[in-house]
Chain A
Amino acid sequence: MRTILQTNRFERYTAPFLFLLPMIAGLFVFRLGPVVWSFILSFQKYNPFQGGTWIGLENYRELLQDKDFIQVFKNTVFFTLMYMPLGVVSSLFLSLLVNNKLKGITFFRAVYFLPVISAVAAIGTVWAWLLNPLYGLVNFSLKSVFGIIGPEWLGSPKTALFTLVLVNVWHTMGYTMVIFLAGLQNIPQELMEAAYVDGAGKIKSFFRIVLPLLSPTTFFVVVITTIRSFQVFDLIYIMTAPAAGEGGTVGGPANSTNVLVTSIFLNAFKYYRMGFGASQAYILFLIVALITAVNFRFQKRWVYYS
């Protein structure tokens, strides 16, 4: 690594730490310290106003038996299993659609990226209105165009979680599109031309050439979308409580949209069961670490790196 010639003792031993002081202080106080403290909390019964008592593995034992938490865990897995493939496929499709030099293509790219920068508070609010079962634009259009009576969307425990999956796909697909686009633009043009010369059609060359060459990007996208879907919070916070009416809690109706992070939030900051919340946060930590580890292990087998 290139380094500046540090000419005297001060520049060698003191100055670097002056540069780093704010960052290192923050790193310990706001990041590393809390990671350790959170681990300790997960073995405690802790209320911010009464303090904590050591209860060993009790929080974790409760997690395994608690019906609500089992529901939360199922919801989270369902969300991920639905969101990951939908998000990956739709954004791959978008990236293929805009990977060209057609007139106005930069405009379309900019539009597709727009939901990514938009505050979830605002887009959650407008989608809740669009999906209003009685007066929303979506159900009105379904009825007038297709003659279908639309579902209750957020209003029913059967459809609420899947509704959130769809809105989340809409919100994030521009982001993954940009990552796929960068991957596509790394594919050498000659390879595509060679495939055409060999008589491979568009679809054939997509599966034989583009997809294998894109596999490192796809791998990255799969890891990142999976991790993010385990962490979804804002959208659920915005969209589920108002639908339940006054006094309705986040994660409704009937706990059907309560996922890992909303459950951490509710336990820690609404019921002040901070130890219990911390133990759920550590479950999340474990899952995220596992996904990263498993994927990195298997990536060697099915990912093509040139």
Chain B
Amino acid sequence: MSASGTRAGRITRRSLHYAVLIIIAMTILIPFLWMASTSLKGSGVMTEVPPRWIPEKFLWGNYPEVLFEHKFLRFAINSIYISLTAAVGQLFTCSLAGFAFARLRFPGRNLFFSLLLATMMIPMQVMIIPEFLIMLKLGWVDHILSLPLIIPSWLAGAFGTFMLRQFFLTIPEDLEAAARIDGCNIFGIYWRIFLPLAGPALATLFIFTTMTAWNDLLRPILYLSSQQRWTLTIGLANFTRQYDVNENLKMAGSLITLTPLVVLYIFTQKYFVRGITLSGLKG
């Protein structure tokens, strides 16, 4: 038997495996830890050599300063409003359309479905200039309810429709037949049978849409001009462009931008992973 097959060999290989796993985990985590560490330092020690991992003094006051004076609390509220509204609306429209594509026969079904799939393949940059002009003509740029970030998400959720259609295709027919006997019309079948069964698929879509809206940068740049309507991403982008802002405050702002989603990720990991991998289909 070769040396690598012995017990000692196995243990060595396993330790090596863990060592590599840990090194890579460190390269992932160090930027986040450095962000947290810097965010608690005073602005005077940004240039100190050698840099310290544990701040000499913990300046918790950096956070209230960023939240209130630099308005990140306002941005956070805007981000929450936009991503939740976009996600909830998308659950309705996508499940309605997904249900029709999966379970109903009607003239033009294949045509409409092909159009839907085609739009998923087209890069959004091809559509963004006319989309901006449409928003301009509607008078929605800098809209008080930030409609340009919400309405397209409600009405043009091609990926969500596709995903829910695939899910609805798997629901057995017997359930519909039973509901028919109980006197349900097709809206009843959608509402009382299909929607409740789609829990996990809806959760995946909800998380995915929330994440996309939360992290979106381009649309907030285009459509939110007044500071009071900024989301965290655009707020942070503009914050980092100010000359007189130090790294400690930028890091506090970054951490505020990240934390809500990271917390959500810790608790609902599998929905995040599923939604993001499935969305890869749309290219």
Contacts and interface: CB of A to CB of B under 8 A. Distances in A.
Given A41-B129, A114-B28, A144 B272 contact: no
B66 interface: no
B189 A16 contact: no
Interface in B33-54: 34-35, 38, 46-47, 49-51
Contacts of B155: 22-23, 25-27, 29-30
In the complex, which range does the number of interface residues on chain A fall in?
35 or more
B283 interface: yes
A138 to B, nearest CB: 10
B121 interface: yes
Nearest to B179: A4
Given A5-B180, A292-B283, A120 B125 contact: no
A294 interface: no
A134 interface: yes
B251 A129 contact: yes
B58 interface: no
Interface string A94-122: 10011000100100101111111111111
Interface string A244-262: 0110000000000000010
B149 to A, nearest CB: 12
Contacts, number: 297
A130 B250 CA distance: 12
Q: Which of A4, A179, A237, A246 lies at the interface centre, i.e. has the most chain B CB atoms within 10 A of its CB? A: A4
Contact of A130 (B34, B100, B106, B269): B34
A19 interface: yes
Contacts of B232: 119, 121
Interface of A: 1-6, 11-13, 15-17, 19-20, 22-27, 29-35, 37-38, 41, 48, 94, 97-98, 102, 105, 108, 110-123, 125-130, 132, 134-135, 137, 140, 144, 170, 174-175, 178-179, 182, 220, 223-224, 227, 230-231, 233-234, 237-238, 241-242, 245-246, 261, 264-265, 268-269, 274, 277-278, 281-282, 284-285, 288, 292
A227 B257 CA distance: 27
B258 interface: yes
Interface of B: 14, 17-18, 20-21, 24-25, 27-32, 34-35, 38, 46-47, 49-51, 92-94, 96-97, 99-107, 109, 112, 115-116, 119, 121-123, 125-134, 136, 151-152, 154-158, 161, 169, 173, 176, 180, 185-187, 189-190, 211, 214-215, 217-218, 221-222, 232-234, 236-237, 240-241, 243, 247, 250-251, 253-255, 257-258, 261-262, 265-266, 269, 272-273, 276-277, 280, 283
